[in-house]
Amino acid sequence: GQQVMQIPQYQHVQEGEDFTTYCNSSTTLSNIQWYKQRPGGHPVFLIQLVKSGEVKKQKRLTFQFGEAKKNSSLHITATQTTDVGTYFCADATNKLIFGTGTLLAVQP
């Protein structure tokens, strides 16, 4: 079964609102990757987190890796319509196992 769970499965926001998706594992992760898939497209790598408690930023996107390395989050500040898509985390500890994804819809 799926080893990496993501919540929520779906989120609808108004443009300008913030958005957060969470990735949880029952086991300790060595590192975690985040991907974005636009509707009709293929997943595209965003970032990788390796260290416990690590925080990385890409413009309006903030990625965090939990202290216990069992969870991670992606936060988008002031969403834009270009943020629409599905966001996946992937456990890169042993092979690359993806979470179930969070579909973000942004209403202008």
Under 8 Å CB-to-CB from 90, ≥6 apart: which residues? Answer: 4, 32, 33, 34, 35, 96, 97, 98, 99
Query: Considering the complex, what minimum distance in angstroms separates the CB of residue 31 from other proteins?
Result: 5
Interface with other proteins (CB under 8 A), residue from 48, 62, 73, 77: 48
Q: Should residue 24 be labelled a site residue for other proteins when binding is judged by CB under 8 A?
A: no
Query: For residues 50 and 91, what is the distance between their CA atoms, to the nearest angstrom?
Result: 11
The number of residues that bind other proteins (CB under 8 A) is: 26
Coil, helix or strand at residue 82: helix
Q: How far is the CB of 96 from other proteins (least distance, A)?
A: 6
Site for other proteins, rule CB under 8 A: 2, 6, 9, 30-31, 33, 35, 41-45, 48, 50, 88, 90, 92-101
